Amino acid sequence: MTISIQTFPETNPPLSIIIDDREANYGPATALTAMEGVSIQFQRLPLGDYLIDNRLLAERKTLTDLIASIQDGRLFRQGCRLAASQYRTVILLEGTTANLAGNKMSREAIQGAIITLTLILGIPLLRSRHAEESAKLLIYAAQQMRRIATGALPRKGRRPKGKRRTQLTLLQGLPGIGPERARQLLAHFGSVEAVLNAHLEELMTVPGIGKEVARGIRWAVNERETEYSVLDDPVL
């Protein structure tokens, strides 16, 4: 049986989170169900503990779980299956060194297991101190992945302020367009939209915009991928 819990504002698309039913009584699951902006389902997952947005698959382990899974060989079997998954996968390691009190496994053995998971199998590792932080990390990671998947890539530096600066920044994302050419294009056409809709010959009338640069702009914004062949792609 599937249990659904939905808590999200109508104005924001919710993050869809499937939680393995064996995790239902643990801290991160409880914290996630109390958050806004998520749609929760509990069901049996064949792999991992949390599947978010049908994109991110997370395997949660406390430090005690990690050691137990190293000792019985389960960790590396899980790691190989995670590495072969169709989803982006992550191991969420929860706890602090205080949780290792009384443990007899050497630090080198634990580090060796983590090296195998991350460097050899290529599975990212996230660290959290407690269940609540685990829940927040999962949400933040999923939100970042959603933004990237929808084209909202983070940029270095300050975001431009004001409409004109924003327009100039957008134009500088086109092939061969630096600050001066962006200013010339905006002065000539009056808006980013007009630049993107301009024909090749119109672009070439702008000072500093030659044929190759104009072709590069048209190649970047034209939706018909076959308009220019790979051999015609501009190298600017």
**Full residue range of the structural domain in which residue 124 is found:** 3-149
> Residues 9, 121: one domain?
yes
Contacts of 227-234 with CB under 8 Å at 24 or more apart are: 234/175, 234/176
Q: Is residue 208 part of a domain?
A: yes
> Residues 111, 196: one domain?
no
Q: What percent of the chain lies above the pLDDT cut of 90?
A: 31
Q: What percent of the chain lies above the pLDDT cut of 70?
A: 83
Residue 225 is predicted with a pLDDT of 41
Domain endpoint, select from 125, 149, 173: 149
Q: What is the pLDDT of residues 39-54, one digit of tens each?
A: 999 999 999 999 999 9
Q: What is the pLDDT of residues 77-130, one digit of tens each?
A: 888 898 888 899 999 999 887 777 777 788 888 888 899 889 888 899 999 999
Q: What is the pLDDT of residues 148-177, one digit of tens each?
A: 776 555 555 555 557 788 788 878 878 888
> Residues 104, 31: one domain?
yes
Q: Is residue 158 part of a domain?
A: no
Give the CATH number, domain containing residue 187: 1.10.150.20
> Residues 167, 144: one domain?
no
Strands lying side by side in the sheet with 38-43: 3-7, 38-43, 15-20, 50-52, 56-62, 88-94, 125-128
Q: Determine whether 159 is exposed, middle or buried from the number of CB atoms within 10 Å of its CB (0-12, 13-18, 19+).
A: exposed
> Residues 108, 188: one domain?
no
Q: Is residue 157 part of a domain?
A: no
> Residues 33, 138: one domain?
yes
Residue 236 is predicted with a pLDDT of 36
Q: Is residue 64 part of a domain?
A: yes
Distances (CA, A) of 212 to 118, 170, 181, 190, 204: 44, 20, 13, 22, 9
Domain count, the chain: 2
